[in-house]
Amino acid sequence: MPLTPLSASPPARGGLFSYENGLVLLLGMTFGFAYFDRTALNFLTPFIVPDLALSNTQVGLLSSGLSITWALSAYVIGRWSDSAGVRKPFLLTFIAVFCACSFLSGIAPTFMLLLVARMIMGAAEGPVLPVCLAIVNAESSPHRRGINAGFMQNFFGTLLGAVLAPLVLVALANAFNWRVAFYVAGIPGLLCGLAIWLWVREPQDSRPVTQHEHIDLWQMLRVRNIWLCCLISICMIGNVVVLLAFLPLYLTTVRDYSTTLMSWVMSVAGMAGPFAFLVPALSDRIGRKPATVVFSFAAILAPLAALYFHGPPTLLAAIMFGGMLSAGVFPLFMGIIPGETISRRHAATAMGLIVCVGELGGGVATPVVAGWLADRSTLAAPLVIAAAAAAIAGALALLLKETAPVKVGAST
């Protein structure tokens, strides 16, 4: 069957306290706390490693295990959600599961039980983003899809998962222990789930996908924007994961920064995340394609500045801040562009597929390759890979077909 673009978009909703605004706020907090739970292990590792006597390999497995199940479930459950024609029951179920896994992480007495808890958590959290994006996409006014998706994914994901999480979790671990931190991490998600159950409605155009409308994986991958977004996802996720994994080490060992100075530079650069929602907001006005092209290329700035800029650390941090505004392209290629390319009834499948491919190729494979090359050359190799990945993403974005209503018509 042909993959028809969006039609019959919902009318604009007015007022500060509109359903549309409330939905973006609530689902943004839901995804933010899911990401909060995902990153919790990273910040609690210094407490967990000595307590459970973990090796570096085991620490790596805990991260990789969650990433793999996150990736696979994003596609499988997203597709299931499309087939069933409902969003809300899936979202509520997986919120309950990932919150339970946060509690399970806290009581884990061994590495193996902790690994199982994290992998189940990944399977539960993977579909949260594509399902939330599908709901927001369906309920947004055409001229606000970009800013709504960006606010939900960029602002809340970064604010809660990257800014608030280390402050709260480390403080709890210091005041009590790392197990208490995991227990507390699961509570906000449960509260969000309760609010969704009481207040969020099923999108009005939801209905099961019939056999005639069914789209298999290869049919979807033949859609130009979908396979391009999959490749862009690999490159951009690879850029971010490799940069975050190796940049602190490069700054402290090659550039000879102190750990305090390194953490300050990384923190300032990371503050770009909450502001990155301005990128999809800008795409509502100038189009999805130019915004994706410009800010994918902008991701080159951070690794190249670390490699070649030898000025003051404050200026280095400022350059990296500009480069990390590229986080704003993630809602574009993960949610907005695929959601505007095909029917809403297949939106969660397409979004889940892009998340899955990106996580497997960029989040799992790319850092392994980067580390292998670093062992055989220098720590500059991962940064070169990060810069190259961003350049390839920008080049791929040049091939996208424009989908923004402002460019192709307000009815799409």
Per-residue pLDDT at 178: 92
- Number of neighbouring beta carbons within 10 Å of residue 306: 26
CA distance 152 to 34: 12
* Section 281-304 average pLDDT: 95
CA distance 190 to 193: 5
* Section 120-135 average pLDDT: 88
Q: Would the pLDDT of 233 be above 80?
A: yes
- Contacts of 211-215 with CB under 8 Å at 24 or more apart are 212/1, 213/1, 213/343, 213/345, 213/346, 214/83, 215/1, 215/3, 215/346, 215/349
Right CATH for 213-406 from 3.90.480.20, 3.40.50.720, 3.20.20.80, 1.20.1250.20: 1.20.1250.20
Per-residue pLDDT at 1: 39
Q: Is 92 within 8 Å of 199 (Cβ atoms)?
A: no
pLDDT in tens, 309-329: 999 999 999 999 999 999 999
State the amino acid at position 71 in one-letter form. A
Which among 350, 329, 393 has a CA at the least distance from the CA of 4? 350
Instruction: Identify the three-state secondary structure at position 314.
Output: helix
Percentages helix, strand, coil for the chain, rounded to the nearest 5? Answer: 80, 0, 20
Per-residue pLDDT at 143: 80
All CATH 1.20.1250.20 domain ranges of the chain, comma separated, are 16-203, 213-406
Q: Would the pLDDT of 2 be above 70?
A: no
Output 250 or 402, whichever has higher pLDDT: 402
Per-residue pLDDT at 42: 74
Q: Would the pLDDT of 120 be above 60?
A: yes
Q: Which of 47-51, 84-88, 208-212 is least confident?
A: 208-212
**HSE on the CB side for 9, CA within 13 Å?**
21
Q: Would the pLDDT of 115 be above 60?
A: yes
Burial of 376 (0-12, 13-18, 19+ CB in 10 A): exposed
Per-residue pLDDT at 70: 87
Residue with tokens 């003051």: 312
Q: Would the pLDDT of 12 be above 50?
A: no
Q: Would the pLDDT of 412 be above 50?
A: no
pLDDT in tens, 349-385: 888 899 889 989 888 888 888 888 888 888 899 899 9
Radius of gyration of the chain (CA): 20
Q: Is 327 within 8 Å of 291 (Cβ atoms)?
A: no
- One DSSP character per residue, 83-145 reads HHT-SHHHHHHHHHHHHHHHHHHHH--SHHHHHHHHHHHHHHHTTHHHHHHHHHHHHS-GGGH
CA distance 293 to 296: 5
Per-residue pLDDT at 5: 43
Per-residue pLDDT at 236: 96
Q: Would the pLDDT of 63 be above 90?
A: no
CA distance 26 to 20: 10
Per-residue pLDDT at 155: 85
CA distance 270 to 166: 12
* Section 243-259 average pLDDT: 84
Per-residue pLDDT at 6: 42
Per-residue pLDDT at 215: 66
Q: Which of 33-37, 162-166, 197-201, 225-229 is least confident?
A: 162-166
- What is the fold, at CATH topology level, of the domain defined by 16-203? Growth Hormone; Chain: A; (1.20.1250)
* Tokens (6 digits) for 202: 């099923």
* Section 206-228 average pLDDT: 72
* Tokens (6 digits) for 66: 């969650």
Q: Is 44 within 8 Å of 329 (Cβ atoms)?
A: no
> What pTM, to 2 d.p., does this model score?
0.77
- Number of neighbouring beta carbons within 10 Å of residue 370: 24
Q: Would the pLDDT of 82 be above 80?
A: no
Per-residue pLDDT at 219: 80
